[in-house]
Amino acid sequence: MLSGSATIAVVRRILFVVNVLLGMAAVAALGVFFWFFYRPLPETSGEVASSVRDRVEIVRDGLGVPHITAKSEEDAWVAQGYVTASDRLWQMDTLRRAAAGELSEMAGSQALDADRESRRLRLRRTAEEIYTKLSDRDRVAFAAYARGVNSYIESHRGRYTFEFTALGYDPKPWSVVDSILASLQMFRTLSNDWKTKVIKQQMLAGGEPEKVNYLFPPRTAWGFAPGLGGDVHPGSNAWAVSGAHTASGKPLLSNDMHLEFSLPGVWYLVHLKAPGLNATGVSLPGLPGIVGGHNDRIAWGMTNLGFDVQDLYEERMDLRTGQYVFQQRVEQARQEREVIVIKGRQPEEVVNWVTRHGPAINVAGGRISTLRWTIYDAPIFRDVFLDINRARNWDEFQTALGDFGGPAQNFVYADVDGNIGYHAAGKLPVRRNHTGDLPVDGASGNFEWDGYIPFAELPHAFNPTSGYIVTANQNPFPEDYPYKVAGGFAAPYRATQIGNLLASAGNKLKPADLLRIQTDVYSGFGKFLAGQLVAVYDKRGDNNAVLKEAVQLLRKWDGQMDKDQPEPFIVTMAFLSLRKAVAERVAPGAGATYEPQMSYAVVERLLKERPEGWFSDYSELLLRSLSEGIEEGQKLQGLAPSRWRWGKYTYADIQHPVAGKLPVVGKYFNIGPIPMSGSPTTVKQTTRRLGPSERMDAAVGNWDDSLMNLPIGQSGSVASSHYSDQWESYYSGRSFPMQFVKVEGKDTLVLVPAK
């Protein structure tokens, strides 16, 4: 046996070896982190040779936002391309690949279905066609931006961000077509409604037409819109308030665009200064200019209009030859062959037929459908944001909007002269003999498009007497509008609540007050349904103690969809059961295809009107829905409703698509899971999938009083201090100064012409 002193010596040696090994592991880990994560971080200070023609100064503030000062607009676009690539190159690369159908080349067969759809939609070919029709001004700006991106790509070979290393590829040079692809991908996100028509057609085949049409109701002044009830589609809020209602006596403008959560986020903040240009706000990685923000004279924001710009045509077509019938004549479709490169396996060939209406994208049950879509009309594409960034007044702003091709938007405006305005913009088809809610006969020629609705006839307003303009994706078209209207407009809950909050806030509004409205989580629908459930329980009664407990909670509930409360979960579980019953009543079996996105407004309308022929006893329907909802809630969160929490059901789980999947450390690169307040029907529109993608509150004329907040951070590099430094403020409803006149610089990078 070892003596006591010998045992201690052995233990010490073991501890020494263990500590050495742990130290070596730590050093190795630090080395790996440095090499793969820290080393690729971009330069933010010093002097760098680039493709600019003159010296450009880039000052980054405390959030990493670049403030670019150039001697020409062209150099400003170069610098914007350079800094955006420095923070978001991999995001830009995936954005162009997603549109082009080239994700499989770097991600393998898991991305194959997405690539097949992009190829069927022929987005790369469309981008190439648009390129040939670009205006000289757009071509110059896009080319300058591409030069900036490529300057960064060329100067950082061998030290791209972790995603490129992990997936084993280098980025290709950026091109003007790639910028167009980035734009088309956003267009696709905001206007991809053709599947809605297929769903309605399936429901009509499996159910009662009058009930199916009730779920896709005609438009009304309140915005009950055709389509899938855009409550959980990408949406937005935007409003302008005249100086009569503000503390400063000058207008305020707010905008929060609701899109899918992602890491990094959708938008990139940037400030651009050059002769004739001084604009700041959010940009779309891959495109020059500011999409939403302000310059030194005007502020603007937008929400998705939701007008349907896609139609499906059922063709009499032979897929073997590409011949099809149009107005009793045989025409020949154009054949296009696509090759999808797939990492780790043989390429796949995709054959498309393209008719006068567009590509064949849907072949089901012997029916062949082609897609007509405004993006296939190449000449309508213009980057009007370059003109908006320079606009000095309402007339110049409208002139720019008149050329806007889409995706169709509601634009809200305010200026330093005290004006506020609104104008819908985008190319909206004039449909002949149909409203676009179903596939139509492509052979007859009776259902074509007769051009686009004239810009001057689109909904608009300027300095309304109320002093408020509010848009939250609701239907802006009046009942007597002379053109056929179709689209996925949102129910009026958000717009109504914004209007109510503005009207009750008094006449001393400040940017912080508008931020509180943006983060409001009151649900008009939730409060309505809770009242219906309480009333029917009081009328019919029930001896179930759990049901009684739930009703007592709803009786006192104020309609706030708060993450720490049980009532939002109770009312949502009841709604899900109710929605299922309605869908099954409309089209047994087929109704399930509609159920996941049924409009809350449709359910409210049904319960208010209680039409005959649906349910024999609406009170029994409500009571059963409450009971079934409680049972389902118990399965998810336990027996006692008082212990349930909304945030356990609605939460954010935002994962980095590459770094987030790393073993052990991957979770540190993700956000959540974390409970969220809000719902699809609250001003703070929140689901597990989407939420506000930015929050801007612009103080017109007093620009440095403005507020701006991204959900995550400026940088897509996981080692950057700006990777997620805005999340805590976003989550808690705070914001940051939107620096403009006075910029508190932290780092300065100078781009100089390459020799």
Q: Is residue 7 a part of any domain in this protein?
A: yes
Are 672 and 679 a contacting pair, CB within 8 Å?
no
Same domain, 450 and 407: yes
Same domain, 422 and 550: no
Section 565-575 average pLDDT: 97
Give the residue with greater pLDDT, 606 vs 22: 606
| DSSP class per residue in 102-152 | -SHHHH-GGGHHHHHHHHHTTHHHHHHHHHHH--HHHHHHHHHHHHHHHHH
The torsion of the CA quartet 574, 575, 581, 586, rounded to 10 degrees, works out to 170
**Per-residue model confidence (pLDDT) at position 221:** 28
C-alpha–C-alpha distance, residues 399 and 417, integer Å: 18
Which residues, other chains included, contact 715 with Cβ-Cβ below 8 Å and sequence gap of 6+? 64, 87, 88, 264, 721, 722, 723
In which band, very low, low, confident or very high, does the pLDDT at 596 lie, cut at 50, 70 and 90? Answer: very low
In which band, very low, low, confident or very high, does the pLDDT at 595 lie, cut at 50, 70 and 90? Answer: very low
Task: Show the tokens assigned to 702.
Answer: 């007093």
Tens-digit pLDDT profile for residues 345-371: 999 999 999 999 999 998 877 789 999
Q: Is residue 404 a part of any domain in this protein?
A: yes
Same domain, 425 and 301: yes
In which band, very low, low, confident or very high, does the pLDDT at 593 lie, cut at 50, 70 and 90? Answer: low
Tens-digit pLDDT profile for residues 460-476: 999 999 999 999 999 99
Query: Does the pLDDT of residue 22 top 60, yes or no?
Result: no
**Per-residue model confidence (pLDDT) at position 220:** 32
Half-sphere exposure of 586 (CA within 13 A, CB side): 30
Task: Show the tokens assigned to 609.
Answer: 């009107």
Tens-digit pLDDT profile for residues 637-648: 999 999 999 999
**Per-residue model confidence (pLDDT) at position 326:** 98
**Per-residue model confidence (pLDDT) at position 199:** 81
Q: Tell me which of 594, 614, 649 is where a domain ends.
A: 649
Tens-digit pLDDT profile for residues 307-333: 999 999 999 999 999 999 999 999 999
Which residues, other chains included, contact 421 with Cβ-Cβ below 8 Å and sequence gap of 6+? 240, 394, 397, 412, 413, 414, 460, 461, 462, 463, 469
Which residues, other chains included, contact 707 with Cβ-Cβ below 8 Å and sequence gap of 6+? 511, 512, 515, 695, 696, 697, 735, 736, 737, 738
Section 664-677 average pLDDT: 91
Q: Tell me which of 649, 669, 686 is where a domain ends.
A: 649
Query: Does the pLDDT of residue 222 top 70, yes or no?
Result: no
Handedness of CA 532, 533, 536, 537 (dihedral sign): negative
Q: Is residue 284 a part of any domain in this protein?
A: no
Query: Does the pLDDT of residue 598 top 60, yes or no?
Result: no
What residue type is 707 in one-letter code? L
Q: Buried b vs exposed e over 162-182: b needs ≥16 C-beta within 10 Å? A: bbbbeeeeebeebbbbbbbbb
Same domain, 507 and 556: no
In which band, very low, low, confident or very high, does the pLDDT at 28 lie, cut at 50, 70 and 90? Answer: low
Q: Is residue 677 a part of any domain in this protein?
A: no
Same domain, 387 and 490: yes
Give the residue with greater pLDDT, 327 vs 195: 327
The neighbour count for residue 538, using CB atoms within 10 Å, is 10
What CATH number is given to the structural domain containing 545? 1.10.1400.10
Q: Is residue 436 a part of any domain in this protein?
A: yes
Same domain, 389 and 255: yes
**Distances 320 to 324, 332, 345, 351, 363 between C-alpha atoms, Å:** 11, 11, 27, 11, 13
Section 599-608 average pLDDT: 88
In which band, very low, low, confident or very high, does the pLDDT at 6 lie, cut at 50, 70 and 90? Answer: low
**Distances 596 to 50, 575, 580, 666 between C-alpha atoms, Å:** 50, 11, 9, 31
C-alpha–C-alpha distance, residues 271 and 254, integer Å: 18
> What is the distance between the terminal CA atoms of the chain, rounded to a whole angstrom?
77
Query: Does the pLDDT of residue 557 top 60, yes or no?
Result: yes
Three-class HEC string of 635-691: HHHCCCHHHCCHHHCCEEEECCCCHHHCCCCHHHHCEEEEECCCECCCCCECCCCEE
Are 299 and 511 a contacting pair, CB within 8 Å?
no
Please write down the long-range contacts of 510-514, taking CB distance under 8 Å and 24 or more positions apart.
510/246, 510/247, 510/248, 510/252, 510/699, 510/705, 511/252, 511/697, 511/698, 511/699, 511/705, 511/706, 511/707, 512/697, 512/707, 514/239, 514/241, 514/252, 514/254, 514/697
pLDDT, mean over the chain: 91
Same domain, 426 and 508: yes
Tens-digit pLDDT profile for residues 700-746: 999 999 999 999 999 999 999 999 999 999 999 999 999 999 999 99
Query: Does the pLDDT of residue 226 top 70, yes or no?
Result: no
In which band, very low, low, confident or very high, does the pLDDT at 666 lie, cut at 50, 70 and 90? Answer: confident
Beta bridge partners of 301: 412
Q: Is residue 364 a part of any domain in this protein?
A: no
Same domain, 514 and 539: no
Same domain, 504 and 533: no
**Per-residue model confidence (pLDDT) at position 694:** 98
C-alpha–C-alpha distance, residues 3 and 53, integer Å: 79
C-alpha–C-alpha distance, residues 410 and 426, integer Å: 9
Query: Does the pLDDT of residue 519 top 70, yes or no?
Result: yes
**Per-residue model confidence (pLDDT) at position 217:** 60
Q: Is residue 149 a part of any domain in this protein?
A: no
C-alpha–C-alpha distance, residues 678 and 563, integer Å: 8
Percent share of the chain, pLDDT over 70:
91
In which band, very low, low, confident or very high, does the pLDDT at 27 lie, cut at 50, 70 and 90? Answer: low
Are 93 and 171 a contacting pair, CB within 8 Å?
yes
Query: Does the pLDDT of residue 267 top 70, yes or no?
Result: yes
Percent share of the chain, pLDDT over 90:
79
Which residues, other chains included, contact 577 with Cβ-Cβ below 8 Å and sequence gap of 6+? 624, 625, 626, 628, 629, 632
* Strand ranges across the sheet with 329-332: 317-318, 323-326, 329-332
At 71, give phi and psi (nearest 5°). Answer: -90, -5
At 2, give phi and psi (nearest 5°). Answer: -80, 145
Same domain, 511 and 538: no
**Per-residue model confidence (pLDDT) at position 19:** 60
Same domain, 510 and 399: yes
What CATH number is given to the structural domain containing 301? 3.60.20.10
Beta bridge partners of 329: 326
**Per-residue model confidence (pLDDT) at position 231:** 38
Q: Is residue 24 a part of any domain in this protein?
A: yes
Longest distance between any two alpha carbons in the chain, whole Å: 106
Tens-digit pLDDT profile for residues 43-72: 999 999 999 999 999 999 999 999 999 999
Domain range for 512: 200-263+296-310+377-518
In which band, very low, low, confident or very high, does the pLDDT at 491 lie, cut at 50, 70 and 90? Answer: confident
Number of compact structural domains in the chain = 3
Same domain, 383 and 498: yes
Q: Tell me which of 598, 615, 649 is where a domain ends.
A: 649
